[in-house]
Each structure stands twice: as structure tokens, then as C-alpha cells.
A and B are shown apart, each in its own frame.
Chain A
Amino acid sequence: MVFKRSERARADKPVPIPVKIVVAGGYAVGKTTFVGSISEIEPLTTEAALTSHSDGVDIAGEAAKSSTTVAMDFGRITLGDDLILYLFGTPGQDRFHFMWDDLIRGAIGAVVLVDTSRLEDSFPAVDYFESAGIPFVVAVNAFFGKMHHSLEDIREALAVPESTPMVVTDARDRDATKGTLLELVQHALALVNAG
């Protein structure tokens, strides 16, 4: 019986509070690697159906004709007894905005992962989070420590305001990922404190 285990596990402890951070960026920029470097579980994949969030608006359009679902990877970090942080890696193309609307609701904020050789891939994510007023940081994924441009050049190219933090990260490295997440949470906290 499946449910025998349940009786033992069901304690009086409260159900943990979930918090989440969205990791966005262009195709193959390293989102799942970033999530996996710090997640306590191997990143899992779920399928979001285009139709489930359309709300009667025909946002699916062309996309719905070729594919009806979008894969989304996520990881989990337990922060103490009653707090769990989820990291969601989400595709960066404009046509997936419907997914970001759903994902970003209640989120701490977003990390926009940038590959300096394909800066333009991060435009949609930067535009989206900026116009939605979501706290976000831009994290330049420096593969093997190499960057094709300076941070300030990248800031200018992406038209990211001075108030938005920019960091160099390495998606494969747990400490670098942790530092990037800390940067975002500190930024979100500063915005809340500023009212």
C-alpha cells in the first residue's frame, strides 16, 4: 500500500514556503547548467502547453502550429526547514512570453544569462523584465573565463540601466552561481526596502 508511508511522514510541521527565481536567456546559453550547478536534484523537465495559458488570446499563433508544448527545466534548493527555492530555466524567445507571465508571478526576480558572442539573444528577456518591473540581474556567462566584451560595453549594448546589477558568472561553477543568485536577492531586497 502506497499510503502506509504517508501516515508516518505526515507530521505537524508546516508545508514549506516556496520561493522562485527565473533564469532566462537565449538558446544554449547555459541555463540548465546554471540551474544544475547549485540544485540539490538533477534538473527536472516539465512540459507547459501553449493552450493552458492563452486566456482566450491567440498568442500561440504560428508557434502553436509547429509545437504545442514547451519544455522547461528546473531545480530545487532547500533553505532550512520551511523554505524551498526553485530555479526555473526558461526559453528566451519572444514567443514564450506567455510562460514568463505565469512564471514570474510571485518570483523573487530573474537572472538573465548572457553569452557575449550572441548578445542579441538576450534582448527579449532584458526588455521583458525591465518593462514588467521585475528585479533582475544580467549575468554574463564567461565560458573558460573568456569574455568578448567588457561589462560596460555589454551594459551599453543591452541598454541595461545603471541601477541593474551586472555580474560575470560561470554557469558550471556552484560558487559562481551562488554569487549570482545572492546578487539578485540583494538587489530585490534593496528595491523592496526602497519602497
Chain B
Amino acid sequence: MTETSGTDRLRIRPYALTGGRVRSTTELPLETIVRVTGRCIIHSHELSSERRDIAGLCDQPVSIVEISARLGLPLGVARVLVGDMVTEGHLNTHHATETAITPDGRPDQRLLERVLNGLQAL
């Protein structure tokens, strides 16, 4: 990142924020839920304005797709920025291996049963 001050409030073309990249190095699913880490709070002055906006939403767990909708960022841009912030330690998320998934990447029996019970209890 090159922006270091909070004065960078110019609205620029969205993909300029990601250096023209349309893919994050980590390629997180769009429903990935993130939350700020302690490191993010300590180093908030180092963040660009878009990243501070993201961090501001993420004091409660929030998904990439919600970040995109609430900040009016295209999904691809939100994905890249969030992916970078996870890589840099500003945001926390689950790792795929921690969640209950089958080999084809879908929710496993235990997770599906929890969804079923949760829906029935609504």
C-alpha cells in the first residue's frame, strides 16, 4: 500500500484501488465473514480510506458481499481489498479447513444438520 494518510478522500475508479487486480491472492468466497483484529486497530492510521471504511464495518462480523453492498464497492474490488487485509493481518476469518465441508467443498452432514435445526427453530 502506498497511501499512508487519512487525507486520501478522492473518489477514483474502483479497480485503481486494487492496482487493477480483479483477483485477490487468497480468493475468498464472497460469503466469507471477517472481523477486525487487534493489529487493525493499532495500525488503523496506516490504512487507506477504503480500507478504513471496511475495517469500520468489520468491528462486528460481516461478509465480503455485505461489505460490497454497504460501501457501494463492486464485489470484485471488495474481495481483493478484504483478501489483502486478511493476508496483512488486519482482518480475521475462518480458514476453509476449519469449517465442516465435504471433499467437494459443500457443507458436511453435521453442518447441514445445524442449518436444518436452526431453520426449524426460526
- The answer to whether B29 touches A6 (Cβ under 8 A) is no
B interface residues, tally (CB under 8 Å): 55
Most buried by A among B41, B58, B99: B41
Binding site for B on A (CB under 8 A): 2-3, 5-7, 9-10, 14-20, 38, 44-49, 51-53, 69, 72, 74, 76-77, 79-80, 83-86, 88, 102-103, 105-108, 178, 181-182, 185-186, 188-189, 192-193
Residues B30 and A181 in contact, CB atoms below 8 Å apart? no
A80 and B31 contact, Cβ closer than 8 Å, known pairs A2-B56, A47-B75, A185-B119:
no
Say how far B7's CB is from chain A's closest CB, in angstroms.
Answer: 16
Is there an interface contact between A182 and B116, defined as CB atoms closer than 8 Å? yes
Compute how far the CA of A192 lies from the CA of B22 in the bound complex, rounded to whole angstroms. 34
For the complex of A and B, list the 8 residue pairs with the smallest distance between their C-beta atoms, beginning with the closest.
A79-B118, A52-B76, A44-B69, A6-B59, A18-B31, A9-B59, A2-B56, A46-B68
Max chain B C-beta neighbours (<10 A), residue from A45, A53, A185: A185
Give the residues in chain B near A79, CB-CB below 8 Å: 114-115, 118-119, 121-122
Q: Which residues of A contact B111 (CB under 8 A)?
A: 17, 19
**Residue among A45, A52, A83, A178 making CB contact with B22, cutoff 8 Å:** A52
Identify whether the interface residues of B are mostly helix, strand, loop, or mixed.
Answer: mixed
Q: Of all chain A residues, which has the CB nearest B112?
A: A189
Residue-wise interface mask of B (77-88) relative to A, using a CB-CB cutoff of 8 A (1 in contact, 0 not): 001000000000
Complex contact B36–A85 (CB within 8 A): no
A2, A45, A74, A181: the one within 8 Å of B52 (CB): A2
Across the interface, A106 reaches (CB within 8 A) one of B44, B106, B113, namely B106
Rounded to whole angstroms, the CA-CA distance of A74 and B69 in the bound complex is 9
**Pair B106/A85 contact, Cβ less than 8 Å:** no
Main SS class of interface, A:
mixed
Assess whether B2 is interfacial by the CB under 8 Å rule. no
Whole-angstrom distance between the Cβ of B121 and the nearest chain A Cβ? 8
Q: Are the CB atoms of B33 and A84 closer together than 8 Å?
A: yes
B65–A3 CB distance below 8 A:
no
A contact residues around B102 at 8 Å (CB): 192
Determine the residue in chain B with the shortest Cβ distance to A86.
Answer: B31
Q: Is A189 in contact with B109, judged by CB distance below 8 angstroms?
A: yes
Q: Choose among B65, B93, B106 the residue that contacts A74 (Cβ–Cβ < 8 A).
A: B65
Please determine whether B122 and A178 come into contact, CB atoms closer than 8 angstroms.
yes
In the complex, the answer to whether A186 meets B116 with C-beta atoms within 8 Å is yes
Pick from A7, A18, A45, A181 the residue with the most CB of B within 10 Å. A18
| B109 with A182: CB separation less than 8 A | no
A21 to chain B, nearest CB (A): 9
